[in-house]
Amino acid sequence: MTDYGVLPTGFSRKPLTTILAEIEAALITEFGPGVIQTPQSPLGQVNGVFSEGAAKTWELSEDIYQSLDPDQAEGIRLDILGRIRRIARAAGEADEAYRRAITNEGQARIDMQDISRTIAAIDGVTYSHVWVNDTGAMDANGMPAGSICIAVTGGDDAEIAAAIRQYIVPGVTQFGTTAIESVVDGYCRTFRILRPIDVSVELEVTVRPFKDNLGCPPPSATAIKTTLLNGLFLLNGDDVTFYRVRSVIEAAFTNVEVLTINGSRDGIPQSDNTDVVIGFIERASLSSDNLVITPVA
C-alpha cells in the first residue's frame, strides 16, 4: 500500500525530495549506477525540472482533496459545499463563521441517536440508553406522558449533565432516580437520570448439541457459553427469557438446540423456562461464573 495520496487518515502529499529520489533511482535502473545526475549536471537539472512539475501536481491534488472538506475549503468552494446542505452564506459572512454553520460545530442536533451517541462517548460510561414516552399517558415503564429517560451506568455526573444540557430544553419532563446539576453562565439546571440497579442473574441453560448436515461436530459448552455472554445484550428493564437466550445460541449455531433455561435472581429459585423479571430501574448482568451450559444427548 502506498504511503501517499488518499489514505484513511486523509491526504498525504509526496514530498519533492521523495519525487526526485524516485526519478534518480529510475534512471539508475535504466542506465546503470554510473549515470551522472548531480545537481550541476545536465541530467540532474532535467531531473529537477521534472520533479518540480510532479510536486506541483501533488500540490494540486491536495488542494482538490481539501476543497471537498468544509473544514479546509475556502471561498467559492466553501459556498459550493454550503449549497449541498442548502445553507447560503450571509452577506459579509467570513469563511470561519460560514464553516461553523455548515458543519454544525458547537450546535447540537436534537434527536435520540444524537443524545445517545453523546452520552455513550463520555469517559467511564459502560452502558447508556435513551427512552422516550411520546404518548399522552404513562407508559408500561412508568414514565410520565411526554417524558424522556436517560439510563446510564458509569461516567461523571457533571459531564453527563453538561452533555444533556445541549439537547434537552427547559420544561421537558425527565424520568430518573438520580439528580445531577449543571451550571452555565450562572444559570442552574437540574436533570434526572436513571442509574440502573445492577441485578446479578444466575442462569443454567440445557442444550442438545448434534452434528450438522455436513457432519461437522457441535461446539463445546465453553464456546456456547462465550457466545451467549457476548451476544446477550440487555437494556435496563429487559427480562432474561427463554426466547432471548434461545435466539442468541441458535442463531450462532445451527447444530445446537436450546431445551430449557433456569434462571434466578436474589437467590430465589424458579421453574424451567420462567422469565427472570427485571424492573425498568434495573439491569440484568450475567457473568461467566453465574452461567452454566449443560449439554445433553
- Tell me, yes or no, whether 105 lies in a domain: no
pLDDT at 123 over 90: yes
- As a whole number of angstroms, the distance between CA 22 and CA 17 comes to 9
How far is residue 179 CA from its own chain's centroid?
Answer: 27
Burial of 61 (0-12, 13-18, 19+ CB in 10 A): middle
- Tell me, yes or no, whether 88 lies in a domain: no
- As a whole number of angstroms, the distance between CA 212 and CA 191 comes to 54
The predicted-structure confidence for 255-296, as pLDDT tens digits, reads as follows 999 999 999 999 899 999 999 999 999 999 999 999 999 999
**pTM score, two decimals?**
0.64
> Amino acid identity of 175?
F
The predicted-structure confidence for 163-222, as pLDDT tens digits, reads as follows 999 888 888 999 999 999 999 888 899 999 999 999 999 999 999 999 988 888 999 999
Q: How many domains does the chain have?
A: 3
Pair 204, 278 in one domain: yes
Among 193, 214, 247, give the residue marking a domain's end: 193
Pair 130, 152 in one domain: yes
- As a whole number of angstroms, the distance between CA 167 and CA 112 comes to 9
Pair 156, 138 in one domain: yes
**What's the confidence (pLDDT) of residue 169?**
85
Burial of 43 (0-12, 13-18, 19+ CB in 10 A): middle
Pair 118, 159 in one domain: yes
- Tell me, yes or no, whether 80 lies in a domain: no
Quote the cell numbers at residue 7.
Answer: 489514505
Determine the structural domain holding residue 174 and report its residue range. 112-193
- Compute how many other C-beta atoms are within 10 angstroms of the C-beta atom of residue 51: 19
Pair 278, 255 in one domain: yes
Write 124-127 long-range contacts (CB < 8 A, 24+).
124/154, 124/155, 124/156, 125/152, 125/153, 125/154, 125/155, 125/160, 126/153, 126/154, 127/151, 127/152, 127/153, 127/154, 127/196, 127/236, 127/283
- As a whole number of angstroms, the distance between CA 238 and CA 128 comes to 14
- As a whole number of angstroms, the distance between CA 212 and CA 274 comes to 29
How far is residue 27 CA from its own chain's centroid?
Answer: 49
The predicted-structure confidence for 10-39, as pLDDT tens digits, reads as follows 899 999 999 999 999 999 999 999 999 999
The predicted-structure confidence for 73-117, as pLDDT tens digits, reads as follows 899 999 999 988 888 888 889 999 888 888 876 665 667 877 888
The predicted-structure confidence for 221-239, as pLDDT tens digits, reads as follows 999 999 999 999 999 999 9
- Tell me, yes or no, whether 85 lies in a domain: no
Q: Are 261 and 273 in contact, with CB atoms under 8 Å apart?
A: yes
